[in-house]
């Protein structure tokens, strides 16, 4: 009898071997529960927890999930009226809170280090007829990577992720049933270090207990963690990861973000990947994405240049980047406004774009310049030559963030674009500004014909409607700080 996994055309001999291996591990480790999870539009993991004996069948036949999980904004409100006739007419395959089936990847199996006897599997949703749900964000990145591979390239990504960790003082606001609301209040917290002393060893020592939890959790899950650092802002820290292929890096980001929040919570800490926590004096957190393209066959870095182009100056991209690298850079600049909403997708995140704050303000690139939107890192002959995008916030969905880079960069390559000179004044007047609010970023995406075509009109309409619902509620909120405290701080 054909299994649903076979009907989905995702099951082959390799998957069967991985499935059998995972079942053996579950039994040998005497696991009791297995979490089957999926990454939603906002980068949050959702799913169901099965008893261990049910895991093998679930890997073959899927786990039912209500389709409205894909229609939620950041408050968990459904952005479509799914029970009204024609309410989901723009979403073929959706309707009346119908079911999708989550198909897990046996290769993704982990045993969770912060809880007992529990396994974990990542999955992607499929329609009941076996077809993948095209609006799934991991599928969106997979399609972008297929386009990149067809051009002869693969993508490598390194992650630098800033976030905040606080010690929980009182959970009463969050858990008192008399205070329950949609959205509810987060817990009361205090800082783990006072900030304003960048990379201070004393502040690291003060923060070591929660940072050890982050370290041990990441390493136990097999994530390629390189360093943990005390950042400039109060209670702000940073995690840096080795570069990997793009899909692995995106998967790692989703797992890291969700795992450290849960592991730290068990120990009495609150981690938030919200860009600007709701306190009077904070520093915004960024997610700096280091990216390069490699030859799909040889693995050679195609951004690398052995020597400066003849007649070039240090302010020209051709003095550092190959022709392909320069065109990719120029593509990122050409589509900067349109891709911003994938890099900074919350109403909260746009407060980061301000002068002299180690965050970008304008559509510019620079040579090792941390004030520019795009920072070119490396010298001629350096195999690690790369472009760092500095407009991302740590709450971004990594699958969409990466896909936007691929589609923008490929357009630059396909059109042979050249980059303007590097900036030496990233906060100077006259440069093209980045969007300053979520609604403006949505509109910029909708005007970008290249990105709309690459992502597909159906996805752009879907994504825009959900993000616009968030902007509309933010605009309607009388107390913007309270809105962000409830909307983002407790959840992200």
Q: Could you tell me whether strands 118-126 and 99-104 are parallel, antiparallel, or unpaired per DSSP bridges?
A: antiparallel
CB-based contacts of 212, cutoff 8 Å, min separation 6: none
- Looking at residue 391, what is its pLDDT? 95
Mean pLDDT by 10 residues, the chain (492 residues): 92 96 97 98 97 98 96 95 92 93 98 98 97 97 98 97 97 92 94 93 95 98 97 96 98 98 97 96 95 97 93 91 97 98 97 85 93 93 94 97 98 97 90 95 98 98 97 95 94 91
For 438-490, the three-class secondary structure string (H helix, E strand, C coil) is HHHHHHHHHHCHHHHHHHCHHHHHHHHHHHHHHHHHHHHCCCHHHHHHHHHHC
Question: Is 42:10 a contact under the CB 8 Å cutoff?
Answer: no
Cis? peptide before 183, omega within 30° of 0: yes
The whole-model pTM stands at 0.97
Considering the four listed CATH numbers 3.10.129.10, 3.30.590.10, 1.10.1040.10, 3.40.50.300, the one that applies to the domain covering 145-489 is 3.30.590.10
Reduced to 3 states, what is the DSSP secondary structure of residue 383? coil
Helix (H, G, I), strand (E, B) or coil at 2: coil
Going by CATH, does the domain composed of 4-133 fall within 3.90.1200.10?
A: no
pLDDT score at 368 = 87
Query: Please, what is the end-to-end C-alpha distance for the chain in angstroms?
Result: 43
Domain chopping of the chain, boundaries: 4-133, 145-489
For residue 113, what pLDDT is reported? 97
Q: What per-residue confidence (pLDDT) applies to 74?
A: 95
The pLDDT value given to residue 357? 77
Question: 149, 133, 148, 58: which is closest to 92 by C-alpha?
Answer: 133
Return the pLDDT at 443.
Answer: 98
């Amino acid at each position: 009898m054909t299994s649903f996994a076979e009907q989905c055309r995702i099951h082959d001999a390799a998957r069967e071997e991985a499935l059998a291996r995972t079942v053996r591990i579950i039994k040998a480790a005497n696991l009791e529960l297995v979490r089957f999870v999926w990454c939603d539009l906002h980068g949050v993991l959702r799913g169901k927890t099965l008893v261990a004996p049910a895991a093998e069948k679930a890997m073959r036949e899927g786990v039912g999930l209500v389709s409205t999980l894909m229609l939620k904004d950041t408050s968990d409100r459904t952005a479509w009226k799914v029970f009204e006739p024609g309410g989901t007419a723009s979403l073929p395959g959706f309707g009346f809170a119908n079911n999708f089936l989550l198909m897990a990847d046996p290769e993704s199996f982990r045993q969770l280090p912060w809880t007992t006897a529990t396994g974990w599997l990542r999955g992607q949703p499929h329609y009941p007829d076996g077809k993948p749900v095209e609006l799934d964000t991991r599928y969106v990145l997979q399609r972008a990577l297929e386009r990149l591979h067809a051009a002869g390239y693969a993508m490598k990504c390194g992650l630098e992720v800033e976030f905040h960790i606080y010690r929980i003082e009182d959970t009463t606001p969050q858990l008192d049933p008399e205070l329950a609301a949609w959205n509810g209040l987060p817990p009361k917290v205090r800082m783990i270090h006072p900030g304003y002393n960048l990379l201070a060893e004393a502040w690291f020592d003060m923060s070591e207990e929660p940072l050890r939890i982050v370290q041990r959790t990441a390493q136990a899950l097999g994530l390629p963690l390189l360093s943990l650092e005390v950042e400039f802002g109060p209670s702000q820290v940073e995690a840096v990861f080795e570069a990997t292929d793009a899909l692995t890096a995106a998967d790692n980001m989703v797992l890291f973000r969700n795992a450290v929040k849960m592991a730290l919570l068990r120990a009495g800490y609150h981690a938030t990947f919200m860009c600007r926590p709701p306190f009077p004096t904070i520093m915004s957190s960024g997610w700096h994405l280091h990216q390069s393209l490699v030859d799909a066959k040889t693995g050679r870095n195609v951004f690398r240049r052995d020597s400066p182009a003849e007649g070039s100056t240090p302010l020209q991209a051709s003095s550092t980047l190959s022709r392909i690298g320069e065109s990719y850079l120029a593509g990122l600049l050409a589509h900067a406004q349109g891709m911003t909403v994938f890099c900074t997708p919350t109403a909260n995140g746009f407060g980061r774009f301000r002068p002299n704050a180690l965050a970008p303000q304008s559509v510019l690139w620079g040579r090792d310049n941390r004030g520019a939107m795009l920072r070119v890192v490396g010298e001629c002959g350096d195999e690690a030559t790369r472009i760092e995008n500095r407009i991302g916030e740590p709450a971004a969905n990594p699958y969409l963030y990466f896909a936007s880079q691929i589609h923008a960069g490929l357009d630059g390559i396909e059109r042979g674009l050249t980059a303007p000179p590097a900036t030496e004044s990233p906060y100077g007047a006259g440069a093209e500004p980045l969007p300053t609010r979520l609604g403006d970023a949505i509109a910029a995406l909708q005007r970008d014909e290249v990105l709309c075509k690459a992502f597909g009109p159906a996805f752009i309409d879907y994504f825009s409607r959900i993000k616009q619902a968030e902007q509309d509620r933010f605009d309607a909120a009388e107390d913007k700080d309270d809105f962000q405290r409830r909307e983002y701080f407790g959840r992200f």
